[in-house]
A and B are shown apart, each in its own frame.
Chain A
Amino acid sequence: MTMEVSRKTASRRDYAAPLVGLGTLIAFLAIVETLIRVGLLNRFIIPPPSEIIGSFGRLFLEENIVHRFFFTAGECLVAGVMVAVSGIAIGVVMQRFSLLQRACETWVAAFASAPLVLTYPLFMVIFGRNAWTIIMMGFLSALPPVILKTIEGISGTRKVLINVGRSFKLTATQQFWKILFPAALPTIFVGIRLGLIFALINIVGTEFLINFGGLGQLINDLAERYDLAGTYAAICFVILVSVLFFMTLEKAERWLRPVD
């Protein structure tokens, strides 16, 4: 009986935070709707939330948003694979050669905070107005966090684990694959998660700037048509995709390291 009561209390506690979050969002939207309706906010700058919600159906039926979503997701996937392979490899090499690490780590960190999206004209010249320019923008912006977190993860491997490997006479390759890499994996995954978020932002941003591809181009098109409700609905869709993306990555991380 007591256990049942405590289970019910726990489950109520589990739902409390998402419900409060949802309630806050609904209250916020209701306030914005009211302010627009009474004329305190200009409806030609911010469309009423009810109109934005109403535009979602149109995005699916008329604007082909599902196809655009898969286009952007494909670009993210290619950039993600490229960044995971090369970011980890560069991080490993930099960690292995301390001179290289000391020489370049600051540069990589500086790159992480630089507005790399501004380099898109360069990639337009190299690749033209196509998906590769967008993928390269995503790849470039995602690279620094993966490199930095790979270095941090491998350097942070506990000495005793390395000594266990030495006591079992592991070769350098075995030491890397059986101890250093799995020990560093949670930290590397933080880098990949950050990197992929940066990649998504930059991919959608570049699609918007060069008016090509998936969701970014859709936002650009709707804005140019002055379809404000549609533009805001598309932006909301991108935010929802980001949230979903983040949650999937979190789940993948937990799957890779079930118990720490």
Chain B
Amino acid sequence: MTQAVAPADAILVADDIIVRFDTAEGPITAVDNISFKVRPGEFLSIIGPSGCGKSTLFNVLGGLLENYQGTVNVAGETIAGPHKSIGMVFQEESTFPWRTVTDNVAFPLELVGMPKSKRIDRARHFIKLVGLDGFDNRYPGELSGGMRQRVSLARTLASEPKILLMDEPFAALDEQTRLLLGDKVLQIQQELKQTTLLITHNITEAVQMSDRILVMTYRPGKVKRIFDIDLPRPRTSEIVGSETFGRYVAQIWNDLREEANRGMLDEEKYALEHERAL
């Protein structure tokens, strides 16, 4: 299904990642022996059913989770904790409500001590890039959910990370906004040749944007298959209507359906056991 990525070509290498959690029901393995590599400039999506450990993997890659086995290597450096080469965009709304759009986007530039006038110019560049020019002096409270996510994206891009790591950034948005924002992310990714990792449970979103898609199994999360998406670039959401697109969606859904079913049965079983315990 996919061609192996030689380590020398890879900007990110995840090797044998295992994450275990202690719960009231005993220890569980959330992520089990996950290994993959990402090429520079590549768009890789990681897809799986709810509860497969996608967000756990996001935290491992972003350096927010410390207790795991295996290694994450970024541009030849093994990471321990958050790394300046990785910029994270979170699923939840994460703008700072006390800062204007410009001040939000300029946040990482402020941290590196960039002079105020320069960082405002730089922030405006990224605000324009995400299509929010004219909203520079607004506060997040005055913006829609989609606009706020674009502010978060611009803020992360302003730190000029080598790898953009996104955890279901459009999950809380409606389908139309999601497709349009997908276009925006694609446009930016193509313009900046930005290496991007997208964690998602949305097949359409993954196929629309990715060069490769890694499908995860339901608990414990393992790599089930990696798909190469051979669709022409530059892409927009118009590609959603093409026959090849539909074929990819069907193939991935075939792989994912079994895992989603397992997840659903597991949740039902847990709910019944919980009810009996009560």
Q: Chain A interface (Cβ within 8 Å of chain B)? A: 158, 160-161, 163-164, 166-170, 174, 178-179, 182-183, 185, 257-260
Contact = CB atoms under 8 A, between A and B. Distances in A.
A167 B141 contact: no
B33 to A, nearest CB: 26
Interface in B80-98: 81-82, 84, 86-88, 90, 92-94, 96-98
Interface residues of B, number: 25
Interface string B136-150: 001111100000000
B92 A166 contact: no
Nearest to B62: A167
5 contacts: A167-B62, A167-B64, A168-B108, A169-B81, A179-B96
Given A168-B111, A169-B82, A182-B96, 19 more contacts: A158-B92, A160-B92, A160-B93, A163-B90, A167-B62, A167-B64, A167-B86, A167-B87, A168-B82, A168-B108, A168-B159, A169-B84, A178-B107, A183-B98, A258-B139, A259-B97, A259-B139, A259-B141, A259-B142
Interface of B: 62-64, 81-82, 84, 86-88, 90, 92-94, 96-98, 107-108, 111, 138-142, 159
Nearest to A185: B98
A166 B139 contact: no
Contact of B94 (A160, A182, A258, A260): A160
A250 to B, nearest CB: 18
A166 B96 contact: no
Contacts of B98: 182-183, 185, 257
The 3 A-B pairs with the shortest beta carbon distances in the complex, nearest first, are: A259-B139, A259-B141, A167-B88
A161 B93 CA distance: 9
Contacts of B138: 259
B111 A170 contact: yes
A160 B64 contact: no
A158 B90 CA distance: 12
Contacts of A179: 96
B152 to A, nearest CB: 8
A18 B92 CA distance: 41
A166 B64 contact: yes
A145 to B, nearest CB: 22
B199 to A, nearest CB: 14
A159 to B, nearest CB: 8
Contacts of A174: 111
A239 B276 CA distance: 60
A215 to B, nearest CB: 36
A158 B108 CA distance: 19
Nearest to A181: B98
Nearest to A179: B96
